Amino acid sequence: MSRFPAFLVALATSAALCAAPASAAEPAPLAKHQVTFDKYSLLLDGRRQVVWSGEFHPFRLPSPDLWRDVLQKMKATGYTAVSIYFDWNYHSPAPGVYDFTGVRDMDRVLDLAAEAGLYVIARPGPYINAEVTGGGFPAWLGTQAGRARSDAPDYLAASDEWLSRIDRIIARHQYTDGRGPVILYQIENELAATGVAQQNYVAHLHDKVRADGITVPVFHNDKGRNGIWVPPDSGVPGTVPGKVDLYAFDGYPGGTCRTDATPGNPNVAPDWGTYGPGGAKGGASASPNTPGFVAEFGGGWFDYWGSNGTYPCTAVRQGPGYERVFYGTNLANGLTLQNFYMTFGGTSWGWLPAPVVYSSYDYGAAIDEGRQLRPKALTMKELGYFLATVPDVAKMDRGEPVTPSSAAVKVYHNVNPDTGVHLYVPMHAPSNATTDDTFTFPLSTPDGSYTVPLRLTGQDAKQLVANFDVAGQHLVYSTSELMAQAAGTVLLHGRPGEDGETVLRYASRPRVDVLAGDVTATWTGTDLRLNYRHDGLARVRISGGGRPAVTLLLADDATADTFWSASGLLVRGPDLVRTARAGFVLTGDTKAARDLEVWGARSPVLLWNGAVVPVRPTASGSVVALRPLPGPADPRLPSLTGWRSAPGSPESSPEFDDTAWAVADRTTTNSTTPPPAGQPVLTADDYGFGVGDVWYRGRFTGPPGEQVSLRYGGGGAGMLQAWLDGQYLGQHVLPSALAAPPTTGTATFTVPAELRGDGPHVLSVMVRNDGHNEDGGVNDAHKEGRGLISSSLTGAGWKLRGGTADPVRGPLNNGGLAGERAGWTLPGFPDRGWTPATVPAATASPGTTWYRTTFSLSVPSGQDTSVGLTLGDPARVRSGGHYRVLVFLNGWNVGQYVADVGPQHTFALPNGILDPHGRNTLALAVTSDGGAGNGLEQVALTDLGSARGGVPVRPVPSPGWPSRP
């Protein structure tokens, strides 16, 4: 079957397939488009849309080529849109200074979304929350006098400065002017205060973005369902109108995992639309003239310092059963705009995290932190493909009530008023029941009245349609769920082992050929009834009866999940199908040797990732590869050896030269934690040090007393270490294992008797800043002080030093450790003079010790291996070691490990930052309380998932020594 492979390869790479223009003539003007809406749905150029969106934050994946990987995976798993936060603090290290290059190139991510075929919901803040430091506010904003998220002039000026920059980018990617995928724009996020200052603020934001050229509909995301910031014509008593076009809200009804990290039993799925209580707090009912829009619905939940490590648990709890029940309930309630937060969580690398979260932002999402598809991603594919196959769901009214034969079950019933298509969504009553129920329910459509047999096992719901035309056939009803159709082929699926029944209508008796599986066909009047069990893949060919021939594929869920719908093709076998062109050119991934079968192919051979694949035709109307596609090879990750170390706390020595340090001479501050009267302002933000570790040195001549007390702000699991005249006093760690941890505290140390004299003395203090508070309460919480706030010493003169922004890696990469400032994190730094070291280390000195090594990778070409770095014993949530590690890969701060707080042990090393085909530099800043058991534990590379395929990934700039900030 491969008579013309050379010709086909050439054709696949030709300009014709790339849709290149035939000449250099002046390009045609861009076509204008419309984004409109009514009470049912969004309409794009008059076409109704169910917006099936997933949240993705490019700032949590510092490798732009991997943005393409994630976006392609989202498109392949059924999403039609991506929601993107744009993080102000990620782009602005100082007032008036903005960077949109490299990993901060937001034009690029919007281009990639368009390339992947995804619409975009743009969410630029100014405030985003998102569990990022300051809720997205840059650290320098915390020094302003005016209240944030209000009409204070200095805050409005700053937010306008940000919006002017980001809107310039978003505006040139709008669907409305034909230049891009952006269909919706969010102003602000979860703004719960509704005073005059906030009403003026929301109006100002609206007018600003319109003046900046934003023409798509504008909305605000209401935290919960409070009826806040609804369109002016809502007319619902108790709502708060705002200058917006759409009303949107968020909700996370899935709950959290129990402390033993088991899935537990989720909450009841809420009715936040047409079946709900109505009114201002009923969800979509707060705005009856606009479509139901949930801007954030739980696709998982974040985890916090000191937890038991609940991401794997959350992935199960908010897994396939949850998705079918909760998201299906939303569809039944007319929520035709749904965005699932998160779909890819990624990593809060560097100093990006808010105090509540640690470095991993995996979220238990459909795509895990290592970019691997979880089982729940495949259930999202089932649902997303269903919506693409049944666009009638975009406009539904409540149908006649349906009473099932069992009181343990309820059935939502909706009808499209234009097409007459019926939607039935059966689930347990209440929906969190997990029993096994066999029942029937009555179905009545223009086709007649039927009694439909069904079964629900465990946490489950089904999306069933009736009176529906598909692939030239008329579906009376099916107890299987429609998943996809292409090239005269229809795929239906159901739970493994459950019976299925599909009824089709014909003018006369058609011919039925069962090609595979155990399927019984009966003919009654005008109805063809197929009965079968969902077990593997049954294939039925139906021809005649006054309709075009069709192939029905009847699969269990696991088998259905091996199918992919792409550009008019239906593809079975690979672990991912990324793209399809020209009916035979495919790209995708395989995690092991896989079959390849394609319906709708338009060639005697296929191209898979550029390689010719000979095929043969089947009786099912498909072509199947003559041999399996190959899977990945063992990446053979090396052991980490050759460590060298050097001490990293020279500031603790009384002889250290701090001449060039900033003098703490300010007497006023806009921080919410000012010092006591008469003491100098010490908070780090007031001196331009808003990120990472900050060192202080206080000189005084009088006796220190028996104890020294230091009040400080450190964020979640923040820490302080202190030395007096070079002698270590100890460390203090803020409490954790709380969803809302304290972010300030007071460290009190006993002064050794030999140091209690008149001096002179030098008190050296290092404070670790684990992020600024979010401002969810509109109370300037982000202005809480970081670094030292005050001390028990009187008459001390203080100096301080923090980090500076890396010009390539950005403002959140580096803090103020001496090693960071000296370039010890960078590739090529001359560390031959360092001391050879053994890892694990049996003991440690107080303060920071640096470890460095290099390693080389040789991941096979054409393979995507996601690599992680694992510290300590991942079987233990927390180790006993009182130490923490900043992990630098090729100069990039990829996260913080805290051994005695936990729960994270493994850190994703994204390709691009990581060179999978060359040499890499690993630098670890280990900050310890000192002594036995507090040294660096074992360190190893981990394969987080390998696939043959992937996307091309170029190196992200990683300037080395001496090109340091």
The yes-or-no verdict on residue 19 having pLDDT over 50 is no
pTM of the model: 0.97
**Per-residue b/e over 441-456, b at no fewer than 16 CB within 10 Å?**
bebebebeebebebbb
Per-position DSSP letters for 151-173, written without gaps between them? T-HHHHHHHHHHHHHHHHHHHTT
pLDDT band at 879; cut points 50, 70, 90: confident
Distance between CA atoms of 893 and 815, rounded to whole angstroms? Answer: 10
Q: Are strands 719-724 and 576-581 parallel, antiparallel or unpaired?
A: unpaired
Q: Which among 350, 337, 380, 345 is positioned nearest to 85, based on CA atoms?
A: 345
Assigned token pair, 189: 């996020």
Would you say 459 and 434 are in contact if contact means Cβ atoms under 8 Å apart? Answer: yes
The yes-or-no verdict on residue 17 having pLDDT over 70 is no
Amino acid identity, position 177? D
CA distance readout (Å), 66 to 59, 307, 635, 713: 12, 29, 19, 35
pLDDT band at 261; cut points 50, 70, 90: low
Mean pLDDT of the chain: 95
CA 268, 274, 277 angle in degrees (round to 5)? Answer: 65
Q: Are strands 863-871 and 906-909 parallel, antiparallel or unpaired?
A: antiparallel
3-state secondary structure of 212: coil
Q: Are strands 448-457 and 585-589 parallel, antiparallel or unpaired?
A: unpaired
pLDDT band at 18; cut points 50, 70, 90: very low
Write the pLDDT tens digit of every residue in 839-864.
999 899 999 999 999 999 999 999 99
- Helix, strand, coil content of the chain in percent (nearest 5): 15, 35, 50
**Residue 383, pLDDT score:** 98
CA dihedral 551, 552, 555, 557 (to 10 degrees): 110
Write the pLDDT tens digit of every residue in 624-670.
999 999 999 999 999 999 999 999 999 999 999 999 999 999 999 99
Assigned token pair, 316: 């199960």
Distance between CA atoms of 850 and 825, rounded to whole angstroms? Answer: 9
Q: Which residue has the tokens 């290290």?
A: 93
CA dihedral 83, 86, 90, 91 (to 10 degrees): 140
pLDDT band at 29; cut points 50, 70, 90: confident
Per-position DSSP letters for 462-516, written without gaps between them? --EEEEEEETTEEEEEESSEEEEEETTEEEEEE-TT-EEEEEEE-SSPPEEEEEE
**Residue 259, pLDDT score:** 61
Q: Which among 641, 640, 634, 642 is positioned nearest to 943, based on CA atoms?
A: 634
Count CB-CB contacts under 10 A for residue 690. 30
Residues written for the chain? 965
Write the pLDDT tens digit of every residue in 478-490.
999 999 999 999 9
**Residue 724, pLDDT score:** 98
pLDDT band at 263; cut points 50, 70, 90: confident
Q: Are strands 337-344 and 51-56 parallel, antiparallel or unpaired?
A: parallel
DSSP state at residue 32? P
The mean per-residue pLDDT over the stretch 368-386 comes to: 98
Distance between CA atoms of 456 and 26, rounded to whole angstroms? Answer: 60
The phi, psi pair for 615, rounded to 5°, reads -135, 165
Assigned token pair, 898: 């805290």
Beta-bridge partners for 516: 539
Q: Are strands 397-398 and 35-37 parallel, antiparallel or unpaired?
A: unpaired
Q: Which among 245, 584, 556 is positioned nearest to 382, based on CA atoms?
A: 556
**Residue 877, pLDDT score:** 87
Write the pLDDT tens digit of every residue in 176-204.
999 999 999 999 999 999 999 999 999 99
Dihedral sign of CA atoms 771, 811, 190, 112 in order: negative
Is the preceding omega at residue 903 within 30 degrees of 0, hence cis? yes
Q: Which residue has the tokens 């368009």?
A: 114
DSSP state at residue 27? P
The phi, psi pair for 382, rounded to 5°, reads -55, -45
Strand extents, DSSP E, 29-138: 35-37, 42-44, 47-49, 51-56, 81-85, 119-123
Write the pLDDT tens digit of every residue in 757-785.
998 999 999 999 999 999 999 999 999 99
**Residue 794, pLDDT score:** 87
Would you say 455 and 438 are in contact if contact means Cβ atoms under 8 Å apart? Answer: yes
DSSP state at residue 578? E
3-state secondary structure of 944: strand
The yes-or-no verdict on residue 8 having pLDDT over 60 is no
CA distance readout (Å), 943 to 635, 868, 939: 8, 6, 14
Distance between CA atoms of 261 and 890, rounded to whole angstroms? Answer: 34
Q: Which among 842, 844, 850, 817 is positioned nearest to 643, based on CA atoms?
A: 850
Q: Which among 160, 152, 166 is positioned nearest to 98, based on CA atoms?
A: 166
The yes-or-no verdict on residue 10 having pLDDT over 50 is no
CA distance readout (Å), 544 to 470, 509, 600, 618: 16, 7, 20, 20
Distance between CA atoms of 223 and 948, rounded to whole angstroms? Answer: 42
DSSP state at residue 26? P
Amino acid identity, position 535? D
**Residue 28, pLDDT score:** 67
The mean per-residue pLDDT over the stretch 553-581 comes to: 98
Greatest Cα pair distance in the chain: 107
Distance between CA atoms of 725 and 654, rounded to whole angstroms? Answer: 5
**Residue 7, pLDDT score:** 42
Q: Which among 899, 884, 742 is positioned nearest to 817, based on CA atoms?
A: 884
Assigned token pair, 666: 């300010």
The yes-or-no verdict on residue 835 having pLDDT over 60 is yes
Per-position DSSP letters for 260-297, written without gaps between them? T-----PPPPP--STTS--STTSSGGG-TTS--EEEEE
pLDDT band at 1; cut points 50, 70, 90: very low
The yes-or-no verdict on residue 16 having pLDDT over 90 is no
Q: Which helix (H) or strand (E) holds 229?
A: strand 228-230
Q: CB-side exposure of 9: number of CA atoms within 13 Å?
A: 11
Q: Which among 716, 726, 752 is positioned nearest to 650, based on CA atoms?
A: 726
Beta-bridge partners for 836: 644
The phi, psi pair for 354, rounded to 5°, reads -70, 165
The phi, psi pair for 523, rounded to 5°, reads -120, 125
Would you say 367 and 502 are in contact if contact means Cβ atoms under 8 Å apart? Answer: no
Count CB-CB contacts under 10 A for residue 656. 17
Task: Name every residue whose Cβ is closer than 8 Å to that of residue 97 and which is 6 or more positions away in sequence.
Answer: none
The phi, psi pair for 34, rounded to 5°, reads -120, 140
**Residue 394, pLDDT score:** 98
Assigned token pair, 584: 């035979």
3-state secondary structure of 577: strand
Rg (CA), the chain: 30
The yes-or-no verdict on residue 23 having pLDDT over 60 is no
> Which region, left, alpha or beta, applies to residue 507 given φ > 0 means left and ψ of -120 to 50 means alpha?
alpha
**Residue 4, pLDDT score:** 39
Distance between CA atoms of 685 and 821, rounded to whole angstroms? Answer: 18
Q: Which among 886, 870, 880 is positioned nearest to 944, based on CA atoms?
A: 870
Per-position DSSP letters for 716-773, written without gaps between them? TT-EEEEEETTEEEEEEE---SSSS---EEEEEEEPPGGG-SS--EEEEEEEE-B-PP
Would you say 689 and 816 are in contact if contact means Cβ atoms under 8 Å apart? Answer: yes
**Residue 738, pLDDT score:** 79
**Residue 262, pLDDT score:** 72
The yes-or-no verdict on residue 904 having pLDDT over 60 is yes
